[in-house]
Structure 1
Amino acid sequence: MMTVLGLGTYRCRDVTAAARAAIAAGVTVIDTAPVYARGSAHAQLAGLLPDRPGLRISTKAGHMTRHQAQAARQAGLITSEEAAACHSIAPAYLRHRITANITEVGRGRLDLLYLHNPEHGAHGDRSRLLKRITQAFTIFEEAAHQGDIAGYGIATWSGFTSGAFTVQGLVTAARRAAGSTRTHLRAIQLPVNLIELTPVAQALHGAGPVAEASGAGLEVWASAPLNGGELIELVTSDLAEFIRPGSSRVVATLAVVASTPGLTGALLSASTAAHWREALNAFQRPAIQLPHLQDICRVLRA
């Protein structure tokens, strides 16, 4: 199955323009969060959605802007400590955020809701974190049964690499929350790129979060495939030629992500038609063969 390319709005200054360019390029998945674009990402997307029911939107709950944090604190939804950290996965706040996300995005339900960096502020207490994730998943399961969300997942930056949680731990938490082996846990999102290459190297051996999540029937989405654009400068022409002969640095860099076994898709913050054409070129070409992917990982010491 071909790896999908979607729009990630984390680094988009003008979310509306980026979304228009992505949609024009044929992109059908957009990932956002209430905290993105200084809290305006949902509003910027809402105007584009009524005429595009086939466009899938994933959003999040956890991080918040200072304004959002102050409002939540005044409403008694979060503690002063959570307001200062601008992050909470407390049940009361998650219930509020689900309703707010639906209102802001302007759709009857959320396609996919991620718990946003639940490891934030966990301080290495894995047992307490797993309990809090289970509580969060309980809220999400309730919302799914009420028709407010179609599915949920975890969007993390360091949760898997730090050992804060595992895919099996998340599956177990979801089953506890649902009271059944049938849950609405649908996806994980984590950084995968030439700097964060360990998930690729692990997947080549059927291990790590990508392989484990795919094996559990979950979607696996790569965030930051260009590491915020940093890799465009770091990847040399020689390295690009080694990875994908005859390709640009961008295409070669993205080709590694697109070829990772078990990956559903990647989320790219591109804002122009030219950028999307180049990126889609990487995702529409045949995958890099596994032996060569292994060579790439060895060269980059992953």
Structure 2
Amino acid sequence: MTVQLGLGTYRCPDVERAAALAAAHAADWIDTAPNYDRGRAEAALFQVLGDNPQIKVSTKVGFVPRLLRDRAVKDGVLTGAEADSGHNLTAAYVAWQIERSWRALGRVPDVVFLHNPEHHCEPHRIRERLYIAFAALEEACAHRLIHAYGVATWNGFSHGVFNVPLLVDLATRAGGPQHHLRAVQLPLSVVKLSAIAEALDGGGVLAEAQAAGLDVFASAPLHGGEVPKLVTPELAELIRPGSSPMQAGLAVVASAPGVRRVLLSTGNTGHWTDAAATVNGQQLSEAVMRRVVDVLGT
């Protein structure tokens, strides 16, 4: 499987600049969300996406940006209490946010991720929440407001709140055998190695996603800048001789079974070119990956 480097806009201080940089270096994907950059990230991508129709874009629904809370209440899609909670996945809000997203982006999103659907959700209610949201997303697909959807989570898989078979089952219930569930997004790094370790043994979320034909988007591959501090020069040399700690950390994520895209948040040209060369380079062997897990644990 060919792994691609995409731009993740979560931690970008200047989203438009980072997107222009990614476009100039042949990135094929930009990932964003309505609540990124204090609610301005989607609009910041409008010009770059318009100038680069070859780049695909994913956004999210779930968190309620502060800038939009009053508008959501005024439009009748959320109550005041729902807006103040900061997160919502009711059918009305999902449909409302999708329409706002494609207007802000200037195009139909290629994928809309449910953003941390486990957020403030009691475990026994997660099935209902997911099904309602999936049904709304299938409706959006039917009206060509989005092309596909997925689930982006920080803890949902690692905490056992849901798994890929459950997501596929609910998507099939919502959209039939030809449902539009296409991807999952989760943090993968040398700080969060559990999913990678499980995949090396043929199990866990990455293996389940592969079996279901879902693309895996790896978010936070540098774990907010912690990875270059964690990876010693000796470990970097073990992972890939001649690599910097950053490059070594990215190589591990890009070599994880089932990963389709690695999302990096950067507006730095040097960081982007180094990362692209690493992600697009030869994958690490299983033996090296297992040594990394042995050294760092899960």
TM-score band, normalised by shorter chain: over 0.9
**Counterpart Cα distance in 1 of 2:200 and 2:230:** 24
SS at match of 1:276: helix
- 1:93 aligns with 93
Number of aligned positions between the proteins:
298
Aligned-pair CA distance for 1:79: 3.2
State the SS of the aligned residue for 1:264.
Answer: strand
Counterparts of 1:208-219 in structure 2, within 5 Å, are 208-219=204-215
Q: Deviations over 1:195-228 (max 9, x none)?
A: 1111110111111111101110000010000001
Matched position secondary structure for 1:49: helix
Q: Secondary structure at the match of 2:45?
A: helix
Shift of 1:243: 1.5
Gaps of 5+ in 2: none
Q: Which residue of 2 aligns with 1:238?
A: 234
Query: What's the TM-score once normalised by structure 2's chain length?
Result: 0.97
Aligned partners of 2:126 and 2:143: how far apart in 1?
26
Match of 1:190?
Answer: 186
The answer to whether residue 149 in structure 2 is matched with residue 152 in structure 1 is yes
The match for 2:16 is 16
Equivalent residue in structure 2 for 1:134, among 131, 135, 147: 131
RMSD: 1.1
Task: Confirm whether residue 171 of structure 1 aligns to residue 168 of structure 2.
Answer: yes
Q: Give the letter aligned to residue 213 of structure 1.
A: A
- CA offset at residue 80 of structure 1? 3.4
Q: Quick one: which amino acid aligns to residue 116 of structure 2?
A: N
Q: Is the 8 A contact 2:6 2:30 kept in 1?
A: yes
1 CA distance for matches of 2:155 and 2:81? 22
- TM-score of the superposed pair, with normalisation by structure 1: 0.96
Within the candidate set 192, 200, 205, 1:204 is matched to 200
| CA distance in 1 between partners of 2:158 and 2:70 (Å) | 32
Contact 1:64–1:86, Cα closer than 8 Å, also in 2: yes
Aligned equivalent of 1:276, options 254, 259, 272: 272
Provide structure 1 residue ranges, at least 5 long, that are not aligned to the other structure: none
* Number of the residue aligned with 1:64: 64
Query: In structure 2, how many angstroms separate the alpha carbons of the residues matched to 1:81 and 1:296?
Result: 46
Q: Distance in 2 between matches of 1:163 and 1:95?
A: 28
1:50 maps to 50
Structure-1 separation of matches of 2:113 and 2:70: 22
Give every structure 1 segment of 4 or more consecutive aligned residues whose post-TM-superposition deviation is greater than 4 Å.
none
Q: CA deviation at 1:269?
A: 0.4
C-alpha offsets along residues 147-196 of structure 1, whole Å, 9 cap, x if unaligned?
Answer: 11110000000000111111111001101111x22210000000000111
Equivalent-residue separation in structure 2 for 1:245 and 1:51 (angstroms): 39
SS of 1:11's equivalent?
Answer: coil
Are the equivalent residues in 2 in contact too, given 1:43–1:104 (CA < 8 A)? Answer: yes
Q: Residues 6 and 234 of structure 1: is their aligned pair in 2 closer, same or farther, counting only changes over 3 Å?
A: same
